[in-house]
Amino acid sequence: MFYIQMTTDQLLFAYTNMLRAREFDNALINLYRQSKIVGGVYSQIGNEATSVGTSMALGDGDIIFPMHRDNGAHFVRGMTAQEMAINFLFRKGAMTRGTDGTGHFADPKRGIYGNVSHLGAMVPVAAGVALAQKMKKTKNVVINYIGDGGSSVGEVHEGLMMASVMNLPFILIIENNQYAYSTPVAHQTHNPKYSDRAIGYGIPGVTVDGTDLEAVFAATSTAVERARVGNGPTLIESVTMRMRGHAEHDGGEYVPKEQIIEWQKKDPVLKTRALLLKNKIKEQEIVLLETQIKQEIDAAVAYANQLPPPDPSEARRGVFI
Protein backbone atom coordinates (compact mmCIF):
# COMPACT_ATOMS: atom_id res chain seq x y z
CA MET A 1 0.00 0.00 0.00
CA PHE A 2 1.27 3.42 -0.99
CA TYR A 3 1.85 5.33 2.20
CA ILE A 4 2.41 8.95 3.15
CA GLN A 5 3.87 9.73 6.53
CA MET A 6 2.04 12.73 7.87
CA THR A 7 3.97 15.55 9.53
CA THR A 8 3.58 16.20 13.25
CA ASP A 9 1.44 19.25 12.51
CA GLN A 10 -0.81 17.25 10.19
CA LEU A 11 -1.17 14.48 12.76
CA LEU A 12 -2.11 16.96 15.47
CA PHE A 13 -4.58 18.70 13.17
CA ALA A 14 -6.10 15.35 12.22
CA TYR A 15 -6.34 14.15 15.82
CA THR A 16 -7.92 17.44 16.89
CA ASN A 17 -10.66 17.08 14.30
CA MET A 18 -11.16 13.38 14.94
CA LEU A 19 -11.63 14.20 18.62
CA ARG A 20 -14.07 16.97 17.71
CA ALA A 21 -16.07 14.48 15.66
CA ARG A 22 -16.01 11.87 18.45
CA GLU A 23 -16.86 14.27 21.27
CA PHE A 24 -19.57 15.98 19.24
CA ASP A 25 -20.99 12.57 18.48
CA ASN A 26 -21.05 11.60 22.16
CA ALA A 27 -22.68 14.93 23.01
CA LEU A 28 -25.42 14.38 20.39
CA ILE A 29 -26.07 10.87 21.70
CA ASN A 30 -26.54 12.27 25.23
CA LEU A 31 -28.83 15.04 23.97
CA TYR A 32 -30.88 12.49 22.07
CA ARG A 33 -31.30 10.42 25.22
CA GLN A 34 -32.49 13.55 27.03
CA SER A 35 -35.04 14.15 24.24
CA LYS A 36 -33.35 17.47 23.50
CA ILE A 37 -32.74 16.33 19.95
CA VAL A 38 -35.52 14.83 17.93
CA GLY A 39 -35.07 13.01 14.65
CA GLY A 40 -31.99 11.09 13.68
CA VAL A 41 -28.65 11.09 15.41
CA TYR A 42 -26.31 9.18 13.13
CA SER A 43 -23.25 8.17 15.09
CA GLN A 44 -19.94 8.58 13.34
CA ILE A 45 -17.96 6.47 15.78
CA GLY A 46 -15.51 4.43 13.71
CA ASN A 47 -15.60 6.78 10.72
CA GLU A 48 -13.36 9.58 12.03
CA ALA A 49 -10.17 8.57 10.20
CA THR A 50 -12.13 8.42 6.94
CA SER A 51 -13.94 11.75 7.16
CA VAL A 52 -10.84 13.57 8.46
CA GLY A 53 -8.16 11.76 6.43
CA THR A 54 -9.98 12.25 3.12
CA SER A 55 -10.89 15.91 3.62
CA MET A 56 -7.39 16.79 4.80
CA ALA A 57 -6.09 15.86 1.37
CA LEU A 58 -8.02 18.81 -0.08
CA GLY A 59 -7.03 22.44 -0.30
CA ASP A 60 -8.77 25.81 -0.32
CA GLY A 61 -11.36 26.03 -3.06
CA ASP A 62 -11.95 22.28 -3.18
CA ILE A 63 -15.45 21.01 -2.54
CA ILE A 64 -17.04 18.25 -0.48
CA PHE A 65 -20.44 16.60 -0.64
CA PRO A 66 -20.54 14.84 2.74
CA MET A 67 -22.83 12.09 3.99
CA HIS A 68 -24.52 11.72 7.35
CA ARG A 69 -21.38 10.29 9.01
CA ASP A 70 -18.87 12.91 7.92
CA ASN A 71 -18.87 15.58 10.62
CA GLY A 72 -15.09 15.17 10.75
CA ALA A 73 -14.92 16.57 7.21
CA HIS A 74 -17.09 19.54 8.24
CA PHE A 75 -14.66 20.30 11.07
CA VAL A 76 -11.64 19.99 8.78
CA ARG A 77 -13.23 22.54 6.42
CA GLY A 78 -13.56 24.98 9.31
CA MET A 79 -17.09 24.46 10.55
CA THR A 80 -17.19 25.20 14.30
CA ALA A 81 -18.69 23.01 16.99
CA GLN A 82 -20.88 25.95 17.98
CA GLU A 83 -22.38 26.30 14.50
CA MET A 84 -22.97 22.56 14.39
CA ALA A 85 -24.54 22.47 17.88
CA ILE A 86 -26.90 25.33 17.00
CA ASN A 87 -28.04 23.42 13.95
CA PHE A 88 -28.46 20.04 15.59
CA LEU A 89 -30.41 21.67 18.45
CA PHE A 90 -32.61 23.69 16.04
CA ARG A 91 -31.77 27.06 17.61
CA LYS A 92 -31.97 30.62 16.38
CA GLY A 93 -29.23 31.21 13.82
CA ALA A 94 -29.13 27.56 12.73
CA MET A 95 -27.95 26.95 9.18
CA THR A 96 -31.19 25.14 8.42
CA ARG A 97 -33.17 27.79 10.35
CA GLY A 98 -34.48 25.03 12.59
CA THR A 99 -36.18 23.17 9.77
CA ASP A 100 -33.79 20.24 9.94
CA GLY A 101 -31.57 19.10 12.77
CA THR A 102 -29.21 16.85 10.89
CA GLY A 103 -26.33 17.39 8.54
CA HIS A 104 -28.51 18.67 5.73
CA PHE A 105 -26.80 21.99 5.31
CA ALA A 106 -24.38 23.58 2.94
CA ASP A 107 -21.72 26.20 3.44
CA PRO A 108 -20.36 27.08 0.00
CA LYS A 109 -17.77 29.54 1.33
CA ARG A 110 -16.10 26.57 3.02
CA GLY A 111 -16.63 24.33 0.01
CA ILE A 112 -19.33 22.27 1.70
CA TYR A 113 -22.08 21.64 -0.85
CA GLY A 114 -23.92 18.68 0.61
CA ASN A 115 -25.65 16.82 1.90
CA VAL A 116 -29.08 15.89 0.75
CA SER A 117 -30.89 12.94 2.23
CA HIS A 118 -31.57 11.19 -1.04
CA LEU A 119 -28.71 8.77 -1.17
CA GLY A 120 -27.09 8.50 -4.54
CA ALA A 121 -28.78 11.60 -5.91
CA MET A 122 -25.83 13.73 -4.83
CA VAL A 123 -23.39 11.92 -7.13
CA PRO A 124 -24.58 13.34 -10.48
CA VAL A 125 -24.91 16.77 -8.83
CA ALA A 126 -21.36 16.54 -7.47
CA ALA A 127 -20.13 15.34 -10.86
CA GLY A 128 -21.84 18.39 -12.35
CA VAL A 129 -20.04 20.64 -9.90
CA ALA A 130 -16.79 18.92 -10.92
CA LEU A 131 -17.68 19.64 -14.56
CA ALA A 132 -18.17 23.29 -13.65
CA GLN A 133 -14.67 23.34 -12.12
CA LYS A 134 -13.24 21.90 -15.30
CA MET A 135 -15.09 24.37 -17.53
CA LYS A 136 -14.03 27.29 -15.35
CA LYS A 137 -10.47 25.94 -15.18
CA THR A 138 -10.38 26.40 -11.39
CA LYS A 139 -8.28 23.26 -10.68
CA ASN A 140 -10.60 22.58 -7.75
CA VAL A 141 -11.40 18.99 -6.86
CA VAL A 142 -14.73 17.56 -5.69
CA ILE A 143 -15.08 14.76 -3.14
CA ASN A 144 -18.40 12.98 -2.85
CA TYR A 145 -19.06 10.55 0.00
CA ILE A 146 -21.49 7.65 -0.28
CA GLY A 147 -22.22 4.50 1.76
CA ASP A 148 -22.06 0.81 0.87
CA GLY A 149 -25.87 0.90 0.64
CA GLY A 150 -26.19 4.27 -1.04
CA SER A 151 -23.80 3.16 -3.76
CA SER A 152 -26.44 0.67 -5.00
CA VAL A 153 -28.63 3.51 -6.22
CA GLY A 154 -28.77 4.00 -10.01
CA GLU A 155 -27.78 7.65 -10.03
CA VAL A 156 -24.37 6.71 -8.65
CA HIS A 157 -23.66 4.90 -11.91
CA GLU A 158 -24.81 7.86 -13.98
CA GLY A 159 -22.64 10.29 -12.05
CA LEU A 160 -19.55 8.09 -12.13
CA MET A 161 -19.99 7.32 -15.81
CA MET A 162 -20.15 10.99 -16.63
CA ALA A 163 -17.23 11.87 -14.34
CA SER A 164 -15.03 9.16 -15.82
CA VAL A 165 -15.76 9.73 -19.50
CA MET A 166 -15.34 13.49 -19.11
CA ASN A 167 -12.18 13.16 -16.96
CA LEU A 168 -13.72 15.29 -14.24
CA PRO A 169 -11.87 16.28 -11.04
CA PHE A 170 -14.06 14.00 -8.99
CA ILE A 171 -13.42 11.50 -6.19
CA LEU A 172 -16.02 9.10 -4.89
CA ILE A 173 -15.40 7.81 -1.38
CA ILE A 174 -17.46 4.71 -0.67
CA GLU A 175 -17.66 4.35 3.09
CA ASN A 176 -18.06 0.62 3.38
CA ASN A 177 -19.12 0.30 7.03
CA GLN A 178 -20.60 -3.20 6.54
CA TYR A 179 -24.25 -2.21 6.93
CA ALA A 180 -26.90 -0.07 5.31
CA TYR A 181 -29.43 0.23 8.08
CA SER A 182 -30.01 -3.50 8.82
CA THR A 183 -28.79 -4.76 5.43
CA PRO A 184 -25.31 -6.30 5.54
CA VAL A 185 -22.99 -5.89 2.57
CA ALA A 186 -23.50 -9.57 1.65
CA HIS A 187 -27.17 -8.78 0.90
CA GLN A 188 -26.23 -5.70 -1.07
CA THR A 189 -23.75 -7.11 -3.56
CA HIS A 190 -22.12 -10.34 -4.75
CA ASN A 191 -18.79 -8.54 -4.88
CA PRO A 192 -18.00 -6.98 -1.50
CA LYS A 193 -14.89 -5.29 -2.90
CA TYR A 194 -16.49 -2.00 -3.85
CA SER A 195 -13.33 -0.61 -5.41
CA ASP A 196 -13.64 -3.24 -8.19
CA ARG A 197 -16.47 -1.16 -9.61
CA ALA A 198 -13.88 1.34 -10.81
CA ILE A 199 -12.79 -1.16 -13.49
CA GLY A 200 -16.14 -0.73 -15.22
CA TYR A 201 -15.51 2.99 -15.51
CA GLY A 202 -11.87 2.72 -16.52
CA ILE A 203 -10.72 4.70 -13.50
CA PRO A 204 -8.44 3.80 -10.58
CA GLY A 205 -10.14 2.06 -7.68
CA VAL A 206 -8.49 1.50 -4.31
CA THR A 207 -9.52 -0.09 -1.06
CA VAL A 208 -8.10 1.36 2.14
CA ASP A 209 -8.38 0.52 5.79
CA GLY A 210 -10.74 3.31 6.81
CA THR A 211 -9.50 3.24 10.39
CA ASP A 212 -5.94 4.03 9.31
CA LEU A 213 -5.60 7.80 9.06
CA GLU A 214 -2.35 7.81 7.10
CA ALA A 215 -3.55 5.19 4.62
CA VAL A 216 -6.76 7.14 3.98
CA PHE A 217 -4.83 10.39 3.62
CA ALA A 218 -2.33 8.80 1.23
CA ALA A 219 -4.96 7.27 -1.04
CA THR A 220 -6.94 10.50 -1.16
CA SER A 221 -3.85 12.65 -1.75
CA THR A 222 -2.97 10.51 -4.77
CA ALA A 223 -6.52 10.83 -6.09
CA VAL A 224 -6.54 14.61 -5.53
CA GLU A 225 -3.26 15.03 -7.38
CA ARG A 226 -4.56 12.97 -10.28
CA ALA A 227 -7.82 14.94 -10.43
CA ARG A 228 -6.08 18.30 -10.16
CA VAL A 229 -3.86 17.73 -13.17
CA GLY A 230 -6.86 16.73 -15.29
CA ASN A 231 -6.50 12.95 -15.24
CA GLY A 232 -9.99 12.33 -13.94
CA PRO A 233 -11.75 10.58 -11.10
CA THR A 234 -10.81 7.90 -8.56
CA LEU A 235 -13.01 5.59 -6.57
CA ILE A 236 -11.82 4.99 -3.02
CA GLU A 237 -13.42 2.35 -0.87
CA SER A 238 -12.79 3.01 2.80
CA VAL A 239 -13.48 -0.05 4.92
CA THR A 240 -14.82 0.68 8.38
CA MET A 241 -17.54 -0.52 10.72
CA ARG A 242 -20.70 1.24 11.78
CA MET A 243 -20.21 0.91 15.53
CA ARG A 244 -23.76 1.83 16.59
CA GLY A 245 -27.21 1.38 15.13
CA HIS A 246 -28.21 3.17 11.94
CA ALA A 247 -29.25 6.06 14.16
CA GLU A 248 -29.75 6.26 17.90
CA HIS A 249 -33.30 4.94 17.79
CA ASP A 250 -31.89 1.67 16.44
CA GLY A 251 -30.16 -0.70 18.86
CA GLY A 252 -28.53 -2.53 15.96
CA GLU A 253 -29.38 -5.94 17.51
CA TYR A 254 -29.00 -7.53 14.08
CA VAL A 255 -25.22 -6.93 14.16
CA PRO A 256 -23.26 -9.86 15.67
CA LYS A 257 -21.60 -8.73 18.92
CA GLU A 258 -18.31 -10.37 17.92
CA GLN A 259 -18.15 -8.13 14.85
CA ILE A 260 -18.38 -5.03 17.03
CA ILE A 261 -15.79 -6.39 19.48
CA GLU A 262 -13.39 -7.12 16.62
CA TRP A 263 -13.71 -3.58 15.25
CA GLN A 264 -13.39 -1.97 18.68
CA LYS A 265 -9.77 -3.06 18.56
CA LYS A 266 -9.35 -0.89 15.46
CA ASP A 267 -10.85 2.27 16.94
CA PRO A 268 -9.49 5.01 14.64
CA VAL A 269 -9.26 7.58 17.44
CA LEU A 270 -7.17 5.25 19.60
CA LYS A 271 -5.07 4.21 16.60
CA THR A 272 -4.33 7.82 15.76
CA ARG A 273 -3.49 8.55 19.39
CA ALA A 274 -0.95 5.72 19.26
CA LEU A 275 0.43 7.19 16.04
CA LEU A 276 0.93 10.53 17.79
CA LEU A 277 2.90 8.86 20.56
CA LYS A 278 4.96 6.96 17.99
CA ASN A 279 5.76 10.32 16.41
CA LYS A 280 7.17 11.56 19.72
CA ILE A 281 4.24 13.80 20.58
CA LYS A 282 4.14 13.83 24.37
CA GLU A 283 1.37 12.12 26.30
CA GLN A 284 0.92 15.33 28.31
CA GLU A 285 0.29 17.33 25.14
CA ILE A 286 -2.25 14.77 23.94
CA VAL A 287 -4.12 14.77 27.27
CA LEU A 288 -4.23 18.58 27.21
CA LEU A 289 -5.65 18.53 23.68
CA GLU A 290 -8.27 15.95 24.68
CA THR A 291 -9.34 18.11 27.64
CA GLN A 292 -9.53 21.21 25.46
CA ILE A 293 -11.67 19.54 22.82
CA LYS A 294 -14.03 18.11 25.42
CA GLN A 295 -14.42 21.62 26.91
CA GLU A 296 -14.91 23.13 23.45
CA ILE A 297 -17.74 20.72 22.66
CA ASP A 298 -19.36 21.12 26.11
CA ALA A 299 -19.23 24.92 25.73
CA ALA A 300 -20.67 24.77 22.21
CA VAL A 301 -23.59 22.61 23.33
CA ALA A 302 -24.21 24.77 26.43
CA TYR A 303 -24.21 27.92 24.29
CA ALA A 304 -26.61 26.44 21.74
CA ASN A 305 -28.88 25.11 24.48
CA GLN A 306 -29.56 28.55 25.94
CA LEU A 307 -30.46 30.10 22.58
CA PRO A 308 -34.14 30.54 21.72
CA PRO A 309 -35.68 28.61 18.85
CA PRO A 310 -35.84 30.34 15.46
CA ASP A 311 -38.73 32.69 14.78
CA PRO A 312 -41.67 30.59 13.48
CA SER A 313 -41.80 32.70 10.30
CA GLU A 314 -38.42 31.22 9.37
CA ALA A 315 -40.02 27.83 8.74
CA ARG A 316 -41.76 29.11 5.60
CA ARG A 317 -38.79 30.88 4.09
CA GLY A 318 -37.66 29.17 0.90
CA VAL A 319 -40.66 26.83 0.84
CA PHE A 320 -43.00 26.82 -2.15
CA ILE A 321 -46.54 27.01 -0.85
Ligand X SMILES: Cc1ncc(C[n+]2csc(CCOP(=O)(O)OP(=O)(O)O)c2C)c(N)n1
Hey, which residues are catalytic here? 242, 246, 254
Task: Decide: is 244 part of the binding site for ligand X (CB under 6 A).
Answer: no
Residues from 168 through 187 that contact Mg ion (CB under 5 A)? 177, 180
| Closest CB to Mg ion among residues 15, 145 | 145
| Closest CA relative to residue 37, chosen from 89, 114, 73 | 89
Cα–Cα distance between 34 and 187 in angstroms, integer?
A: 35
Cβ-contact 289, 12 below 8 angstroms: yes
| Closest CB to ligand X among residues 237, 296 | 237
Task: Decide: is 148 part of the binding site for ligand X (CB under 6 A).
Answer: yes
Binding mask 150-179 for ligand X (x = CB under 6 A): x--x---------------------x-x-x
Task: Decide: is 181 part of the binding site for ligand X (CB under 6 A).
Answer: yes
Helix (H) or strand (E) holding 235: strand 234-239
Give one DSSP letter per residue of 150-207, joined into a string.
GGGSHHHHHHHHHHHHTT-SEEEEEEE-SEETTEEGGGT-S---GGGHHHHHTS-EEE
Task: Decide: is 242 part of the binding site for ligand X (CB under 6 A).
Answer: yes
The listed partner (ligand X, Mg ion, none) that binds 181, CB under 5 to 8 Å by sort, is ligand X
Cβ-contact 98, 315 below 8 angstroms: yes
- Distance of closest approach, residue 48 Cβ to ligand X, in angstroms: 13
* 7 DSSP assignment: P
| Closest CB to ligand X among residues 116, 277 | 116
Q: State in Å, rounded, how far the first CA of the chain is from the last one.
A: 54
| Closest CB to ligand X among residues 93, 192 | 192
The listed partner (ligand X, Mg ion, none) that binds 150, CB under 5 to 8 Å by sort, is ligand X
Residues near ligand X, by CB under 6 A: 69, 117-120, 147-150, 153, 175, 177, 179-181, 242, 246
Residues near Mg ion, by CB under 5 A: 147-148, 177, 180
